[in-house]
Amino acid sequence: MSDQLIIVGFHRSGTSATAQLLHRAGLFLGYELLEALPSNPYGHFEDREVVDLHHQIFMDNDMTWLVGRPFLPVLKEARWQRMRQIVERRNVEHGLWGFKDPRSCLFIMLWKYLLPDARILLVYRHFSESTYSLSQRHSANLFSGEGNAYIHKRFWEEPDLALRMWLVHNNALLAFARAYPEDTLAVSLNMIRDGFPVVWAINRRWGLGLKDVPVGETYDPRITARRSRRQPVSDRRLIPKVDATWRALQELGEKTEMMLWEKEAAVVGE
Q: Using CB under 8 A as the criterion, which residues of the chain lie in contact with other proteins when the complex forms?
A: 135-136, 139-140, 143-144, 156-159, 232, 234-235, 237
Closer residue to other proteins in complex, CB, 126/137: 137
Q: What angle do CA 238, 241, 244 make, to 5 degrees?
A: 145
Contacts of 2 (CB under 8 A, 6+ apart): 90, 91, 92, 94, 95, 96, 97
Closer residue to other proteins in complex, CB, 236/247: 236
Partner residues linked to 121 by β-bridges: 7, 185
CB of 234 to other proteins, least distance (A): 4
Number of neighbouring beta carbons within 10 Å of residue 23: 20
- Calculate the alpha carbon distances from 132 to 6, 17, 28, 108, 112 in Å: 25, 18, 31, 25, 31
Partner residues linked to 123 by β-bridges: 187
Contacts of 179 (CB under 8 A, 6+ apart): 109
CB of 150 to other proteins, least distance (A): 15
Closer residue to other proteins in complex, CB, 72/228: 228
Number of neighbouring beta carbons within 10 Å of residue 15: 28
Closer residue to other proteins in complex, CB, 156/261: 156
Closer residue to other proteins in complex, CB, 147/181: 147
Closer residue to other proteins in complex, CB, 188/231: 231
Q: What angle do CA 200, 203, 209 make, to 5 degrees?
A: 115
CB of 257 to other proteins, least distance (A): 31
CB of 242 to other proteins, least distance (A): 15
Partner residues linked to 40 by β-bridges: 37
CB of 99 to other proteins, least distance (A): 31
Distance of alpha carbon 127 from alpha carbon 35, whole angstroms: 26
CB of 3 to other proteins, least distance (A): 42
CB of 135 to other proteins, least distance (A): 7
The 8-class DSSP code of residue 31 comes to: S
What angle separates helix 238-269 from helix 161-179, to the nearest 10 degrees? 50
Closer residue to other proteins in complex, CB, 49/146: 146
Q: What angle do CA 45, 4, 194 make, to 5 degrees?
A: 55
